[in-house]
A and B are shown apart, each in its own frame.
Chain A
C-alpha cells in the first residue's frame, strides 16, 4: 500500500517540478526573444524614418538616392565638386561619399594601429608571458575598454593632435590619422580580448604535439597555435572594425568634421556617425535632411550588423574546427 502512495506522491512531485521547469524555460525564452525583438524594432524604426528617402516625392525635390551616391554637378566646370555634403544651404547637397570615405579612412587607421598591437599582445600573453605577467596585462588591456570614448576624444583633441602635428607637420591639426589613432585605442581591447580567448581555447594537446616534434615556443605559437585560432582572431578583427565604424564621440571631437573628398589621411574628415550626432539634434522633424540622417543610420546599422554577423560566424567556425566536428 505504502509503495502505491509513494508512487503517487512521487508522480505529483515530478509533475510540479516539470511545471516549474516549463515556466522557467518559457520565462528565459521570452527574455531572449525580447532582446532580439528590441533590436529588430530599433532597426524597423530607423529604417521607417529612412524610407521616405527612397519613395517620398517631397524628399525627392531636395535629394534622391542617386544624389546620395553618384557624382553631381555642384561646382563650376573649372572646379567641379562632384561630392558635397552641405545640407544647410540654398541648394542642399547631400552626397554621402565624403562621409563614407571619412568613415573608411578613420577606420583604416584605427585598424592598422590596433590589429598588430592587439594580436601580438594576445600572442605574447597566451604563449610567452609568465603567469603573473599575464594576469597583470590582461585586466589592464581590458580596462582600456572601460575608458569612456568622450575621454579618449578629448585626449585626442587636446593632446594627441598637437603631438602628431609636431611629429608629422600636418596642415590640419585635427585629421583622419589623429582620430584613427584615438579610435585604435578604443578598438585594441576588443581585438585583444577575443584573440586572447581564441588562442587560449586552442587545446593543450596541439602545443604538446608541437613540442614533442621538437618545435620551439616561437614556432609553436606562430605555426601551430595562431593558425588554429585564426578564425577567432579574425572574428576579433571584424568586431573591432564594426566598433570603429560606429564609434561617434572620438571622431566628433578629434577629426575636424570637414566633409572633404580626398584620399589624403592628413586632412580633416567627417564620418557617418559624427554627422548624425552633430546634426540630428537640430534638424527640422520630418524634413528631407532628417530623413537623410536616418538613412545614414540605416546604412551604418546594416554595415555593422553585417560585420558582427560575419564575426560570430568566424567564432563558430573556430569552435567547430577545434572540437573537430566537421573535420
Chain B
C-alpha cells in the first residue's frame, strides 16, 4: 500500500509539474520551411536570455502553420506568404478571435542556376517564359544550346505560391517542372544539373550562382543584395510573417516584441535574411503594443 501511495503522489506531482511547465511560457511556433532556421535562432537566443520560457519551433510549410493556427495547435504561425482572407475568416470562425498579422523579416527570392551556366541575368518576363514553358532552350535567353530543366517546389509551399503570383502572374507552372520538398533540395538539384534553374530563399543560396533579375527587359539586372531587397529595387522580395489568433499577451507578447527589437532583428541578419525597414518595424510594434489599450473597447 505504502508503495502505491508514493507512486500516486509521484504521478500527481509529475503531472502537476508538467501542467505548470506548460503554462509557464511554453510557446509553439509552426509553419514556413523557409523560416524554420530563423525561428529556431530566435528561440535559442531568447531562451538563453529568458530561462523560464520554452519556445518550440517546427516547420512543415506556411500552409501547415496556418492550418495549425486555425485549429488552435500553435501559438504562432510562421508564413512566407500573406494569409488569405478565407483563412483569416476560418480562424475567426474557429478561434473566435481576429488574426493579428505582423511582418517580422524580409526575404528576397533568389533565382539559381548552375555555376557553369553563362547566363547571368534574366528579366521577370523571361523567367515567366521559362517557368511556363514558352522558353525551352537556354539559347533563347543568351545561354548555350541546351534544354532548360525546371526545378520548383511542392504546391504546398509559400515559396511556390509567391513565385507563381509574382513571377508567373498566376499562370501555371509548366508540367515538366520537377517539384522538390524544400529550398535545400532545389539548390542541391541545381548544383548537380548544369542545365537546371531553380528558385528559393536567398539565405539558403550558398555555393550556387544567383541570377541578377531585371524588373523589365530594358532595365539593368539587380543583384539580390541587402540594399536592393530593402529598397525594393530587387523585384522578387517579400515579407515574412508571424500570425496570431487574437492579441498576444504575457510571454508570447514579450517574445514577439523582442523579435521586433533591434536585437531580434540582428538575428535576422545573422541567419541571412533582411531586417525589417524601420517604418515597417515601427508599424509592427504599434500593432503589437496596441493590444492592451484596445482591449477594453473590443470587449464592449
Which A residues have a C-beta under 8 Å from some C-beta of B?
81, 84-90, 93, 98, 162, 171-174, 252, 256-261, 267-268, 270, 278-279, 281-285
Q: Do B172 and A86 touch (CB < 8 A)?
A: yes
Q: Do B63 and A282 touch (CB < 8 A)?
A: yes
Q: Do B61 and A282 touch (CB < 8 A)?
A: yes
Asked whether any CB of chain A lies closer than 8 Å to the CB of B215, the reply is no
Residues in B with CB closer than 8 Å to A283 are 156
Residues in A with CB closer than 8 Å to B63 are 282
Known pairs A172-B149, A281-B64, A282-B61; A88 contacts B175 (CB<8 A): no
Q: Do A281 and B172 touch (CB < 8 A)?
A: no
Alpha-carbon gap, A260 to B176, bound state (A):
6
Known pairs A173-B192, A257-B154; A278 contacts B179 (CB<8 A): yes
Q: Do A89 and B172 touch (CB < 8 A)?
A: yes
Q: Do B60 and A258 touch (CB < 8 A)?
A: no
Asked whether any CB of chain A lies closer than 8 Å to the CB of B160, the reply is yes
Known pairs A257-B179, A260-B175, A261-B175; A171 contacts B156 (CB<8 A): no
Known pairs A278-B179, A281-B156, A282-B67; A86 contacts B149 (CB<8 A): no
Asked whether any CB of chain A lies closer than 8 Å to the CB of B155, the reply is yes
Asked whether any CB of chain A lies closer than 8 Å to the CB of B143, the reply is no
A-contact 0/1 string along B129-156, CB 8 Å cutoff: 0000000000000000001010000111
Residues in A with CB closer than 8 Å to B67 are 282, 284-285
Jot down 11 A-B pairs with beta carbons below 8 A, ordered by A: A84-B172, A86-B172, A171-B195, A172-B178, A256-B178, A256-B179, A260-B176, A278-B181, A282-B155, A283-B156, A284-B67
- Give B161's nearest chain A residue, CB to CB: A88
Known pairs A81-B175, A173-B193; A88 contacts B149 (CB<8 A): no
Residues in B with CB closer than 8 Å to A84 are 172, 175
A-contact 0/1 string along B282-297, CB 8 Å cutoff: 0000000000000000
Which B residues have a C-beta under 8 Å from some C-beta of A?
60-61, 63-64, 67, 147, 149, 154-156, 160-161, 164, 170, 172-173, 175-181, 189, 192-193, 195
Known pairs A84-B172, A89-B172, A257-B154; A268 contacts B61 (CB<8 A): no
Min CB–CB distance B195 → chain A (angstroms): 8
Alpha-carbon gap, A260 to B178, bound state (A):
9
Residues in A with CB closer than 8 Å to B149 are 171-172
Known pairs A90-B170, A256-B178, A257-B179; A279 contacts B154 (CB<8 A): yes
Residues in A with CB closer than 8 Å to B179 are 256-258, 270, 278
With beta carbons under 8 angstroms apart, the residue of B160, B161, B170, B175 that contacts A258 is B175
Closest 7 CB pairs of A and B: A282-B156, A256-B178, A282-B63, A88-B155, A257-B179, A258-B178, A86-B172
- Give B156's nearest chain A residue, CB to CB: A282
A88-B155, A174-B189, A281-B61 known, 8 other contacts, Cβ within 8 Å: A88-B161, A93-B172, A173-B189, A256-B180, A260-B176, A278-B155, A279-B156, A284-B67
